[in-house]
Structure 1
Amino acid sequence: MKCTGCKVGALAPSFIDGLFRAHTCTHCGGNWILIEDYVSWKENNPEYVFSDDIACEAVDTETALLCPQSGKIMRKFRITSDTTHRLDYSAAVGGVWLDKGEWELMKKDGLAGSLNAVLTAQWQKNIRMNNAKDNFAELYKEKFGQESYNKVREVREWLNAQPNKADLRAYLLAEDPYSAER
């Protein structure tokens, strides 16, 4: 198979960290992994703990990649909301392309044991929700200022912990809470 990443090297049979089967590019060092090989290994080694004490440099391919087996365009999946790195997944054959350094990045982030989970709709939904929360937080910080934002978050957390929070909100929002008039 020809490398889907660099399009120069060949994908040679190998093992990721000597653990499960893969195909590694002879030129760029990227890895083609069939999820069934990864899951099979994982099921047979449930107690295996990946080391996260790793230094790594990973370069993500920005363009769409073609599956080295089917030739179809692969879909990009975010790893976490904290990184821009994306894994390329071929639903046609159930394979994942890891650019050089992305496996080490997964280990560093404590996600090497969750490679198959990263490819699920729920995982990706959680990343989108986290990104939306971060975006709203930034908007509020800009709108209120950092000090006011911190204070209002503190008040909000306190308020939500109170058993009579509806009455407290009504009191806070009333123009004159001591008046019988609206």
Structure 2
Amino acid sequence: MQCPKDRRVELVDSTLAPALAAKCCPDCQGTWIPATEYESWQAHQPQPTVDALPKVLDVEFVQSPFDTKAALCPECGRYLSRAKVGVRIPFYVERCLDCGGIWCDHGEWDVLEKMGLHTVIQQLFSSEWQTRIREKEYAIAEQQATIDKLGPELAARVFELAEYLQAHPNGDFGVAYLMRRFDKPEPLKNISMSQGP
């Protein structure tokens, strides 16, 4: 069985966790998890509820240089499907849609384990998770644009006020007040009251 990222390197037997057999690439340090092994191991793991899952993966780690490279399934030769995980340091977990095997580049399994996602990898391929990732990306971009326009000090005050208003039972009144303040037309200036000569 050859490495999905480098077809010249043979995978060797390894383990990711107790009772989870896998295949590791001695070159890129990535790991292939056969579907049958993962499903058997997964059946004995506690399954978190959707609410208990982290809203997004924002952890510090060194991304593998192989993460951006397309991969072929070592079992059936098809291209692996990619699921984006994380925002600030995005990476992709890959899975074969035909046989169900999973590929993790070096370090990715450890990150998934830290975040409690290693037992529910299939959920990362759901439209719900990918929508969550896109929403977080938009929120980060919007926050950065606010900092760029207002400067860090004023932006920090705006973010703090937004949190207070969001937590307050009548916070919507504060938001409505601010919107009215900025929706008012400019005051009329230097308008002559004369009717002409």
Which moves more between the two structures, 155-164 or 23-32? Answer: 155-164
**Is 1:43 the equivalent of 2:43?**
yes
Q: How is 1:106-125 mapped onto 2 (pairs within 5 angstroms)?
A: 106-125=112-131
C-alpha contact (below 8 Å) 1:31/1:97 kept by paired residues: yes
The percentage of counterpart residues that share the same residue type is 24
Q: Tell me which of 142, 165, 173 is aligned to 2:172.
A: 165
Amino acid at match of 1:15: T
Question: Alpha carbon RMSD of aligned pairs, Å?
Answer: 3.0
Greater CA drift, 62-71 or 98-107: 98-107
Change (3 A) 1:30 1:173: same
Query: Relative to structure 1, is the Cα distance of residues 162 and 67 closer, same or farther in structure 2, using a 3 angstrom cutoff?
Result: same
CA distance in 2: counterparts of 1:168 and 1:33, whole angstroms? 50
How far, CA to CA, are the matches of 1:171 and 1:57 in structure 2? 42
| Distance of 2:93 and 2:156 partners within structure 1 | 35
Matched, 1:59 2:64: yes
* Mapped pair 1:82 → 2:91: no
CA gap of 1:32–1:163, structure 2 versus 1, over 3 A, is same
1:74-120 deviation line (CA, Å, top 9, x unaligned): 12222222322211221121111112332223234443333333232
- Whether the 8 Å contact between 2:165 and 2:174 is mirrored in structure 1 is no
- The count of corresponding residues between Structure 1 and Structure 2 is 169
Structure 2 residues without counterparts, runs of 5 or longer? 48-60, 186-197
Counterpart secondary structure, 2:95? strand
Specify which of 108, 111, 114 is matched with residue 105 of structure 1. 111
TM-score by length of 1: 0.75
Instruction: Give ranges in structure 1 of 5+ residues lacking alignment.
Output: 48-55, 177-182
1:58–1:105 CA contact under 8 A, matched in 2: no
Question: CA distance change for structure 1 residues 59 and 168 in 2, over 3 Å: closer, same or farther?
Answer: closer
Aligned-pair distance for 1:172?
5.8
Q: Call closer, same or farther: CA 1:63–1:27 in 2, change over 3 Å.
A: closer
1:32–1:164 CA distance, 2 compared to 1 (3 A): closer
Q: TM-score, normalised by structure 2?
A: 0.70
CA deviation after TM superposition for structure 1 residue 26, in Å: 4.2
